[in-house]
Chain A
C-alpha cells in the first residue's frame, strides 16, 4: 500500500530534469562526454536542491552502457540495476550514521577491489559533514590517489564543516537555491502529470514557502494534495500550511500607515485565534517589509525582482508609497529585530503586540524630498500671488498636551505625493491680523522686511535675532509698529540704541525717516504659533511641518518653549 512521496517519485532520472542547477549539470555532462571524470567530487548547497540526486545521476551516467550525450539512458542493464539498488558497485553511505574512523577504514578496504559489473565503483558519502575528524583524515590518502576505477562523491549541506584538506582533493560544486519561479514551473509540470488542478496563486505560495528548496516545495505540495485531492486553490494552501492569508500583511501595514494601533491589535487577535504560528507569520511578514523596501528603491521593475503574485505586487507598489524611505527602513528594521526576539520568547503574542504598538507609535519621519516638494509647491503658489498662499489654519491643531498623551491622536498620516491638498498641507497664515484690511503700505513694509532684517544684521546681529520673532502690526508713512511676543525682547528693542539702529536701517530701506514702535507681548503663545505668522514663507513652511512632528511637539510641551528656527538638515531629512 505504501505511498511514495512526490519528492521521491519525482527524483530526476536524467540530468536534463534537474531543476535550477544548469552550471553543475553542464559541467558534469561535458566531463562525461570528454571522458575527463574526476575521482572525487564535493557537492554542497542548501537542503533539497539536488545534491544526492545529482550524485546518483553521475553514478548512473558513468556506468551506463549506452549514454546519450552524457545522459544515462535509463534502459540498459546497468542503469536499471543502479536504479533498483541491486548493484554492489554503487555504494551510498550515510556518514551521519556511519561516520566513525572504523567506517572510513572499512570504506577504504572496499575501494581497493575492482568493480564487479560496472565500469566505476562509485562511493556516495551523504551528509559528509557528520564524519568525525579521524574519519576524514583516514580518507585523505585514498581521496588523493584512489584506484583508477573509483569515484568518490561527497555531499553535504554544511561545507564549512569539511576540512580544507578534504575540500582541496575534490572538485567542488556549489548547488544554488532554486528561484521560486523555477520551483513554480516544476510544480506545475508535476501537477499536470498527476492530474491535479492548482491555481497560480497556490503554486506561488507553495514555492515561496519552500524558500529555495525543491524538496520542501514537493513535501508541501504532497501535503496539500493529500488534504484537498485533485483541485487545489490558494485557500487550501493557506489552510494546510498554517500560512497566514497574505491579506493580513497588507491590512497590518495599512493600519500602521494610519497609526491605528487598535485595529492592528485586533488583527493580531484574529491571527492568534485562527491558530496561526506567530513565528512563521513574523518570518513572512518581515519578508513583506523587505518587499516594500525593494519596491521603494526600484519601483519600475517590481515583477522582476520580487517573487510575488500579481495582487500582492499591486499592494506592495501602493503601500511602498505610503512611507518616506527613511521611515520605511526604520519600521522594517524594527520588525526584523522582533523576528529574532520571537524565536526565543515564551510570550510570542505579547512580543508581537508590543511590536505593533511601537510601529504605530513610531515617530513620523519626513523625507527631505517631501519637504522639497512642498517647498516647490509653495514657491509656485507664491509666485502666483500672495492670495493663493492663504489658506485656513491647519485643522486639528488642538492643544498639544492632549495630543501627546496618546499615540492614536498623532496627526493623521499624510500620504505624500498622493494628496498634497488635503489636511496635511501646511496652511499659511501670513496675515491674520485684526486689521487685515488691504493696507498697501503695510504690505510694502512686510515685503521689504527680509531686507530690513538683513541690513539690521549687518549693523547688529543681536538685534537681528530679536527682530526675527516680531510681528508687524501696523505701518504708515514714517511709523512702523511691531509686536513682540516676549516682553524681554520688547524691552531690549525699546532701548534707545536699538531704536536708533533700526531707525537708520528703516530709513535706508524704506526711503524715508521712520520711527519704530515696539509693543510687548499681548498674547504669549507657548507653541509658537502666533509668532510664526510673520515669517517669510519658506521658514514658515518648515515651521509648520516641524510643529506637526510629535517629537517637536512633545519637547515644546515639556519645556514650555516655542519654535525659534527650523533649518533643513540634509542628514536626517528634517
Chain B
C-alpha cells in the first residue's frame, strides 16, 4: 500500500516523500509510536517508493510487479525480521541481516530490512547491529520498529533517525468513530479520549463486552458506601481475567474526578458520557485525596505486571480508595 493510503500519519509520510524526492534519505531509522498507527505500513510504503519502477515524487504506483510483491511480502529485497520467541537474537542478525546485507539488491534498487519489535533485541544482537547501522553497505536501509524507543541502546538511537508516529487527534478520531459506529457524540468523544488516539483500541473499547464491563465497574463505584470497599476487593478478585480492564476504568474514573476537581475543561474527560455520575461522586472529595487515589490506582496497575498476590493488591488498593469516604 503506497503512502497515500496510510491514514493519519501525514507528517511522517510527508517526511519520507520529501526525503526520497530530494534523494536525501538516511540509511537507518527508528519508527516509534503506539501500537496500530501505521508504522509497518509506512516502512513497506517506503520500500515501494524506493523500488517501484514508476515512482514519481517519492510516491509509488502500487500497481507494478515490485509494488505488488512488496505488499504481498514476496519481494526478495524487502526483508522483515521478527522476534524468534521472546527476543530478536544475535544469530538472526548474523544470518538474516548481516550476511544478506552485503549482497547487492536482487530485483530492485534498494534493500530494506524491517526489524519488528526492536525493543526485544537482546543486548548481544543490539550491539552486533552497531557497525552495520553506522556504515551499512550501499543501497541498504534499516528500519527498526518499536513502541518503546527508550528501551533501545543509546548507541543505536544515536545512529538512527527517529521518526515518530502519532496517535490521532481526539477530534479527528471522535468524528471518525461517530461515523463508523453511528454512536452519539459524547460516547465517541469518550472513546477517543480513552483510547489515547488509537483507532484500533477505540474500536476494541467500543465492543459490547468491554462497554458492559465498564458500565458494571462504574455502576459499582456508584453504590459503594464507606464500608463496602473491603468487600468490593473480594468481588473484584474473582474477575481476575478482566482485572486489567477494570483497573483501567477505575483509573480513568479517578483521573476524571481529579480533572473535575481541578476545574479543568470538561473536554478533557475520558468518561464525558458519565458526567452526572462523576459530579455526584465528586461531592465529598478534595483534590489532594483524589490525587492520592489516582496514584494508588497507577501503582496497582504497575504492580499487576509483577507476579503479585492479586487479592492483597486489591485489598490494599481499595482500602486506600475507601479511606476518605470512611472518615466522612
Contact = CB atoms under 8 A, between A and B. Distances in A.
Interface stretch (B16-24, B176-184, B271-279, B314-322): B16-24
A96 B124 contact: yes
Nearest to B248: A347
A100 B265 CA distance: 60
Contacts of A350: 251-252, 255, 294, 298
**SS of A interface (majority):** helix
Interface string B19-35: 10011111100001000
Contact of A227 (B19, B131, B258, B294): B19
A347 B139 CA distance: 40
Contact of A213 (B15, B158, B166, B267): B158
Contacts of A46: 154
Contacts of B252: 350
Given A229-B22, A262-B264, A353-B258, A223 B298 contact: no
B26 A223 contact: yes
B295 interface: yes
B136 to A, nearest CB: 9
A407 B291 CA distance: 11
Interface string A203-241: 000000000010110011011011101000000000111
Given A261-B262, A350-B251, A47 B155 contact: yes
Contacts of A7: 134, 159
A279 interface: yes
Interface string A238-259: 0111100000000000000000
A126 B135 CA distance: 13
Contacts of A97: 90, 93-94, 98, 128, 131
Interface residues of A, number: 63
Nearest to B288: A361
Nearest to A283: B150
Determine the interface band of chain B, counting residues with CB < 8 A from chain A. Answer: 35 or more
A503 interface: no
A360 B263 CA distance: 12
Interface in B10-59: 11, 14-15, 18-19, 22-27, 32
B32 A277 contact: yes
Contact of A219 (B110, B159, B166): B159
Contacts of B310: none
A5 B158 contact: no
Nearest to A351: B298
A275 B258 contact: no
Interface in B140-173: 150, 154-155, 157-162, 164, 166-167, 169-171
Given A3-B25, A127-B130, A269-B267, A357 B291 contact: yes
**SS of B interface (majority):** helix
B287 interface: yes
B139 A2 contact: yes
B158 A219 contact: yes
A344 B299 CA distance: 11
A567 interface: no
Contacts, number: 170
B217 interface: no
B7 to A, nearest CB: 14
Interface in A298-315: none
A345 interface: yes
A353 B297 CA distance: 14
Most buried by B among A8, A274, A354: A354
Contact of A405 (B124, B155, B286, B302): B286
B262 A262 contact: yes
Contacts of B298: 345, 347, 350-351, 354
Nearest to A406: B287
A96 B197 CA distance: 39
Contact of A275 (B129, B164, B268): B164
A357 to B, nearest CB: 5
Given A47-B154, A226-B25, A406-B286, A354 B291 contact: yes
Contacts of B167: 275
Given A46-B154, A97-B131, A361-B287, 8 more contacts: A5-B27, A226-B22, A262-B264, A265-B262, A343-B150, A354-B291, A404-B286, A408-B287
Interface of B: 11, 14-15, 18-19, 22-27, 32, 90, 93-94, 98, 109-110, 124, 127-131, 134-135, 138-139, 150, 154-155, 157-162, 164, 166-167, 169-171, 196-197, 251-252, 255, 258-259, 261-265, 267-268, 286-288, 291, 294-295, 298, 301-302
The 5 closest A-B pairs by CB, nearest first: A275-B166, A96-B127, A261-B262, A226-B19, A226-B24
